Amino acid sequence: MSHASRTARLPVESLRPGHEAPVAGRGPAEAASVQEAGRTHRITLVELRVLAAGAGLAAPGAARGAAGRTLLDESERQTRLEQLVLLWQGGCRRLVDETLYLDIAARHPDLARRVRRRLRRSRAG
């Protein structure tokens, strides 16, 4: 089963930008988070989906250079997430906003690394 076919099965309702994602092996209350300007940013399911989709498309090391440096403000990131969800709902399941991917990878560098590693393992095996 390909990476694209696995991720395409996510229910569209759960891809709403405000929906928080449980991280594998953790409950919803322990979802991945990052400290940003004194507040915690929890990753949403749609952000996790962007990480998964972007991990296979990004140039090697592209996200590593952005770690800790967010590229988008809250409103711009939210707008891009909403637009991407609409495109996915319209059938463009493989489309990824590279700037959005890099921003999310910078906000969640450890999770982005784990997603890339898992993708490499699944492609190798």
Q: What is the pLDDT of residue 66?
A: 57
Gap between the terminal Cα atoms of the chain: 11
Question: What is the full per-residue pLDDT of the chain (125 aa) written as tens digits?
Answer: 444 434 444 444 445 555 454 444 444 433 444 444 445 668 899 999 999 999 877 565 555 555 556 689 999 999 999 999 999 999 998 899 999 999 999 889 999 999 989 988 888 87
The predicted pLDDT at position 60 comes to 52
Q: What is the pLDDT of residue 42?
A: 84
Backbone angles phi, psi at 58, to 5 degrees: -70, 150
Q: Would you state the pLDDT for residue 72? A: 92
| Tokens read off for 71 | 């590229």
Q: What pLDDT does 7 receive?
A: 41
pLDDT digits (tens, 9 = 90+) for 71-104: 899 999 999 999 999 999 999 988 999 999 999 9
The confidence score (pLDDT) of residue 58 equals 56
CA of 103: how far to CAs of 5, 81, 90, 123, in Å? Answer: 25, 11, 24, 25
* Cα–Cα dist 108/88, whole Å: 22
